[in-house]
Amino acid sequence: MADTALSVFRNEKKYILPFRNALSIRGKLDEILARDGHSETWGYMVRSLYFDSVNNIDYKTKLAGVEKRKKIRLRIYSGASEKCKLEMKAKDGDLQHKVSLWISREDAQELTKLNYGVLTKYFDESQDAILIYTSMVMGGYRPVVMVEYDRIAYTYPAYDTRITIDMNVRSSESNLDLFSEKPLYTILMKEEAVLEVKYNQKLVRFISDILRQYHLLQCSVSKYCMGRKVFCDFEF
């Protein structure tokens, strides 16, 4: 399948903002940008199962503020999904490189059982499959937390611009079943939202002018690290 794998390089900036500002920005963006094909009135669900190494290297490098870091996750947009997106996202400051590989539901379930070998069948289709496989095997990666939120996404063709607003961020460190129908979550963000702005080269002027009205402060928020509250509090 030609569309099994995807590799993307972009700049990424993140902001935490009050829910009321998120709604205001949504209203302004609705007037000038197109939503992506999945966004309805209140957006769509995103559910990610994050993996980390046996010594939690990805979690620790993020907390330590290391510029070059990565994370690996399985992602779906519905509990009934027949395919999952396996992603490895590497960051160096504001620059990000994300490789994505679509795998079957069955292979995703096997991967959560640490059966990394299911990825070998994708080697002929994507060099990125080899990269992700090697990282997971060498680091002994295993599922550690599930994070879910409601997303509204906008796209603009110039500079491959993409803007997302993530609301109602919630997580579970006990239920790691990616396809669970009714997972029990801890609410992480109820009155705030995460705004992410992604683009190549530069952000178009009319979009930056809108965002500047809200006096946003860029931050290094990680929904993955936020979700590992139990691990953080009790240092398992």
The one-letter amino acid code at 188 reads L
Q: What is the mean pLDDT of residues 59-80?
A: 91
Q: State residue 165's pLDDT score.
A: 97
Helix, strand, coil abundance in the chain, percent, nearest 5? 30, 40, 30
Q: What is the mean pLDDT of residues 135-140?
A: 97
Q: Residues near 73 by Cβ (< 8 Å), separated by ≥ 6?
A: 48, 49, 50, 51, 86, 87, 89, 224
Mean pLDDT of the chain: 91
Q: Residues near 140 by Cβ (< 8 Å), separated by ≥ 6?
A: 53, 54
The domain containing residue 172 runs over which residues?
5-234
Q: State residue 141's pLDDT score.
A: 98
Count of the separate structural domains present in the chain: 1
Which CATH number characterizes residue 157's domain? 3.20.100.30
Record the pTM: 0.92
Is the pLDDT at 29 greater than 80? The verdict is: yes
Is the pLDDT at 196 greater than 60? The verdict is: yes
Q: State residue 1's pLDDT score.
A: 37
Question: For the range 82-89, what are the long-range contacts, defined as Cβ-Cβ under 8 Å and sequence gap of 24 or more?
Answer: 84/108, 84/178, 86/111, 86/119, 86/132, 88/128, 88/131, 88/132, 88/135
Is the pLDDT at 22 greater than 70? The verdict is: yes
Q: What pLDDT, in 10s, does the model give residues 222-233?
A: 999 999 977 776
Q: Residue 183: pLDDT band by 50, 70, 90 thresholds?
A: confident
DSSP reduced 3-state for 123: coil
Q: State residue 178's pLDDT score.
A: 95
The one-letter amino acid code at 60 reads K
Q: What is the mean pLDDT of residues 115-142?
A: 95
Q: Residue 142: pLDDT band by 50, 70, 90 thresholds?
A: very high
Q: What is the mean pLDDT of residues 30-56?
A: 89
φ, ψ of residue 55 to 5 degrees: the values are -105, 15
Q: What is the mean pLDDT of residues 6-27?
A: 91
